[in-house]
Chain A
Amino acid sequence: DTEVTQTPKHLVMGMTNKKSLKCEQHMGHRAMYWYKQKAKKPPELMFVYSYEKLSINESVPSRFSPECPNSSLLNLHLHALQPEDSALYLCASSSLFGDQPQHFGDGTRLSIL
C-alpha cells in the first residue's frame, strides 16, 4: 500500500464541471507535488508546495488551481478543462532536508468528455 493516498481513483467530468482531486500523506513531509502523466509518457511536474506555500508553478493553465490547506493535504481544483487534460494525475511528497526521493500516490485517472 502506498503512503500517499489519492482520491478519487477515477474521475469523469464534462468540460463545464468543477471538481477537485485530493491527496493526503502522513509521513511528515513538508514538500508536496502535482504531476500530470499521459499514456506511455513520463510524469510532468505541475506544481510544488514547500511548507504549505506554492514554490513552483510550471506554467500550468489557470484552469488547474492547487491548494495546500495543511501539511498533510494537497488539493487540485479543476474547472473548464479540455479533452487534452485527460491524463493520470499523480501526487507526491518528500522531505525538504537533503536529497530525498519523492513518494508517489497511485494517481487519479481523469477523463474529460
Chain B
Amino acid sequence: GESVGLHLPTLSVQEGDNSIINCAYSNSASDYFIWYKQESGKGPQFIIDIRSNMDKRQGQRVTVLLNKTVKHLSLQIAATQPGDSAVYFCAETYTGNQFYFGTGTSLTVIP
C-alpha cells in the first residue's frame, strides 16, 4: 500500500546547473538563519548564515536570500557539482541558542 506521512522534498539538477532550495520559516520573531548541508552518515555542516537586517548574503558558490515579508529563505548554489548532493536544512532562531530546523530538501546532482 501507499505510505502516509510527510516526505522529504527532493530536487534533481544536472551537473553545472544552478540549484535553488527554498525554506518557509515559522516564527516572524526569528532574527538569525542558517543553511546546513547533511551528507549521509554525517552531522549537519554549516554552509552560510544571514541576519534579519540583511536580505542577501553571498559565499563561495552559494547565496542566501531572505524575504521577511513572506517568511521565506532560499539557498542558491551556482554550478552545482556531484559533491553538492545531500540534504539541505534551514534553521531559525530568535533567542540565539534555540534553533529550529525546517523540513529539509534532498538534492541530487545528475552527472
Contacts and interface: CB of A to CB of B under 8 A. Distances in A.
Contacts of B99: 33, 45, 102
Interface of B is mostly: loop
Given A42-B89, A42-B103, A90 B98 contact: no
Contacts, number: 61
A101 B49 contact: yes
Interface stretch (A12-20, A48-56, A67-75): A48-56
Interface in A28-55: 31, 33, 40-45, 48, 50, 55
B42 A99 contact: no
A50 B36 CA distance: 22
Interface residues of A, number: 28
Interface of B: 7-8, 31-32, 34, 36, 41-46, 49, 51, 89, 93, 96-104
